[in-house]
Structure 1
Amino acid sequence: MRRVVAQGTFDLVHPGHIHYLSDAASMGEELHVIVARRENVTHKEQPILPNRQRRDVVAAIDVVDHARVGHPEDIFAPIEEIDPDVIALGYDQHHDPEAIEAELAARGIDCEVRRASGRERRYDGELLSTGDIVDRVLEERG
């Protein structure tokens, strides 16, 4: 069975997330999703929703077989436990694939790192990022 890992913050799940997870699921037969711990998110604003709530929302998505909250200190610890064949990065995630491959090699994990495809907007005004959704909410209701 070909295992795939996807990961992200998933603060407000939107069509871009669904596309990412569907694309990741198509790379194998079993999709594991690691939801970033709030305290580990340092590259952008920390999520508003609690870790478990974000995990539960992601777990409810049909293409997701397993969802978990990431490790408190070592982001690669769940990767070692899952032992995936593929790590699927979001098309616009900040991660450096070469750095991930180097860390996987250093830990003896034989795993392919791939980028998921982006999702095109299907109509005017469609919002495909959490930041855009938050900005629109503040603009219209703030």
Structure 2
Amino acid sequence: MTGKSTTVIAQGTFDILHPGHVHYLSEAAAMGDELYVIIARRENVTHKEKPILPDRQRRDMVDAFEMVTEAHLGDTEDIFVPIERIDPDYIVLGHDQHHDEAAIADALANRGIDCEVRRASARDPRYEGELLSTGRIIDRILDQRA
């Protein structure tokens, strides 16, 4: 007897991939059978510095991870369009993403999307000097190469 597979969405900018991204996506993938990742388009990133890498490159890099079923670029106008199309059971937010879980859950309910919003755990550095932030990687590059 085959049941419905559990579908999970993770989302983010994913600029300059690092172990924190791998932790987030691995944890999200473990919550279901299929993991779809929505990559924020550069033009839609307003809460922090714009990504360094092009949209399609960031999508292709995330799509290359074995735990990812499929990576998509976000919609330019409405962030909920790919969520409606994928129809997930869970949306998993990164531990440090700026999103408010309750506000997202309300917006999903208002659009008739029935899924649970969860938050991934943090991953602590495993050795001295390990960087788990794109911003910190950029800062180190500028400090050491500028």
In structure 2, the residue matched to 1:75 is 79
Q: Aligned partners of 2:48 and 2:104: how far apart in 1?
A: 19
Q: Aligned partners of 2:15 and 2:122: how far apart in 1?
A: 19
In structure 2, the residue matched to 1:58 is 62
RMSD (Å), alpha carbons = 0.4
Pairing partner for 1:23 from 17, 21, 27: 27
Q: Aligned partners of 1:64 and 1:18: how far apart in 2?
A: 10
In structure 1, the residue matched to 2:12 is 8
In structure 1, the residue matched to 2:38 is 34
1:93-132 aligned within 5 A? 93-132=97-136
Q: Aligned partners of 1:79 and 1:73: how far apart in 2?
A: 13
2:92 corresponds to 1:88 = yes
Taking structure 2 as the reference length, the TM-score comes to 0.96
After superposing on structure 2, the runs of 4+ consecutive aligned residues of structure 1 that deviate more than 3 Å are: none
**How far apart are residue 135 of structure 1 and its match?**
0.3
How many positions carry a matched residue from both structures?
142
**How far apart are residue 67 of structure 1 and its match?**
0.3
Gaps of 5+ in 2: none
Amino acid across the alignment from 1:8: G
Q: Aligned partners of 1:116 and 1:77: how far apart in 2?
A: 23
Output one character per residue of 1:47-66: Cα deviation in whole Å (capped at 9) or x when no partner. 01111010000000111010
